[in-house]
Amino acid sequence: MGFNSLENIRVLVIDDCIPAPELGWGYPRSNLVLDCLVDMGCEVSLLPLQNPKKIQPHTDLLQQKGIKIKTPDRSNLKQFFLKKKDRYDVIWISRPLNMSQTIDMIRKVNPSQKVIYDSETFSPAREILRRKLYGKNLSEDKIKSIIQWELDLMSKADMVVAVSDRERKTIKNFGIKPVKTLSFSMDTNPTSSPFKEREDILFVGAFLDSPSPNEDSILYFVNEIYPKVYEALGAKLWIVGTGSDNIHSIKKLASDNIVVGGKMDDLWDVYNRSKVFVVPTRYASGIPLKLIGSLAHGLPSVVTPLIADQLELNENTLLIGADPEDFAQKVIQCYTDEKTWMGLRENGLQYIKNEFQLQKFKQDLIKIMQGIRET
């Protein structure tokens, strides 16, 4: 098999739903995986296990690329896997819930089936952070049980895929192997408005559930950080993303100074007019795709230490707010200091060019698919 081809490898991808990029939650990366598998010659099927609903135009676009959408009866999944026992060379399962609901069935039907578990994020880290944030004291045994649940899932796969080298190392340290990294790809698309013509602060994130990391993030920003920023700058805050106009706690934030914008198909204009991007996330795992998007558009960002750590970035590329007061001061600095703003813009664009090239993503994916055939 040539390095640039995965010709005729039959792959079944199992994910929550049709991976519409605007949903956030890792779906832009899921969509990219599907695209690249097809581009490299695979015969690809997709099973949206949790929600088989057609999300348009994405369902039609996937089918136009030759991806077959499978919607078996959820109550009789075993029959589906029996019928497809020898159909797929590789089954790629994304996210822990899907893994937990299918892996034992797959192994019982076909013990030799090659399975890749794409953790998308190492979810125990996020869950432990969330519980601690809300004052739920966790015993050592409880922390171990949360981690062990996903490690047990990982141990049933032939290969585990992590979204960053940082998470790959964490998973390997627990004794799981082989573990490979498959991050993300995004082209730079720098916005054109100069510093002096920009205004306002931007938050982008999907709100698919409540509670969620994005909901906590923006409520934290609005309640503890934004009043200081508004007092100093008078800048409006824009909250943009799928579901932001449906979740009650987010809808009620709308005011003269806060715009709850809902879903936008094209974020170019809002990136182009905004001056500072904020990612005040307090619990999460994986990598922050919304931050990668802002850097790719040349929009400087202020983030929490958690988010900076996920990409292993320092203040050459973005500003880091350690607490509400520090976060507010970093937003004010970025908003008012053109030299700081320009430096962050240039370094952010260069970072995206260096780390998120499509060719690197494809090469990593090919290595994963070649490696699974050799396990």
- Report how far apart, in Å, the C-alpha atoms of 107 and of each of 110, 152, 157, 193, 305 are: 5, 14, 10, 55, 40
Amino acid, res. 7: E
300 against 25, higher pLDDT: 300
Query: Is the predicted pLDDT of residue 216 greater than 60, yes or no?
Result: yes
Residue 2 within any structural domain of the chain: no
Q: Are residues 101 and 131 in the same domain?
A: yes
Measured CA to CA, the distance from residue 277 to residue 292 in angstroms comes to 11
| Total domains in the fold of the chain | 2
CB 31 within 8 A of CB 19: yes
Residue 50 within any structural domain of the chain: yes
pLDDT tens figures, 163-198:
999 889 989 999 998 999 999 999 999 999 999 999
The confidence band for 135, taking pLDDT boundaries of 50, 70 and 90, is: confident
Q: Are residues 255 and 317 in the same domain?
A: yes
Helices (H), the chain: 27-39, 58-64, 77-83, 96-109, 123-133, 140-155, 165-173, 213-220, 226-233, 248-251, 268-273, 289-296, 305-310, 324-336, 338-355, 358-374
Q: Are residues 21 and 157 in the same domain?
A: yes
Q: Are residues 282 and 364 in the same domain?
A: no
206 against 154, higher pLDDT: 154
Q: Are residues 80 and 64 in the same domain?
A: yes
Which residues are CB-neighbours of 319 under 8 A, at least 6 positions away?
Answer: 300, 301, 302, 303, 330, 331, 333, 334, 340, 344
Residue 117 within any structural domain of the chain: yes
Mean pLDDT along residues 204-214: 85
Q: Are residues 141 and 290 in the same domain?
A: no
Q: Are residues 299 and 370 in the same domain?
A: no
pLDDT tens figures, 95-121:
999 999 999 999 999 999 999 999 887
The confidence band for 290, taking pLDDT boundaries of 50, 70 and 90, is: very high
Q: Are residues 227 and 304 in the same domain?
A: yes
Please state whether 159 falls in left (phi above 0), alpha (psi between -120 and 50) or beta: beta
Q: Are residues 248 and 322 in the same domain?
A: yes
Residue 5 within any structural domain of the chain: no
Q: Are residues 148 and 235 in the same domain?
A: no
Please state whether 298 falls in left (phi above 0), alpha (psi between -120 and 50) or beta: left
For tokens 């739903």, name the residue: 17
Measured CA to CA, the distance from residue 329 to residue 29 in angstroms comes to 33
Residue 247 within any structural domain of the chain: yes
Residue 349 within any structural domain of the chain: yes
For residue 320, the SS3 value is strand
Query: Is the predicted pLDDT of residue 375 greater than 80, yes or no?
Result: no
Q: Are residues 251 and 175 in the same domain?
A: no
CB 62 within 8 A of CB 34: yes
Q: Are residues 24 and 120 in the same domain?
A: yes
Residue 199 within any structural domain of the chain: yes
The domain containing residue 149 runs over which residues?
10-184+357-374
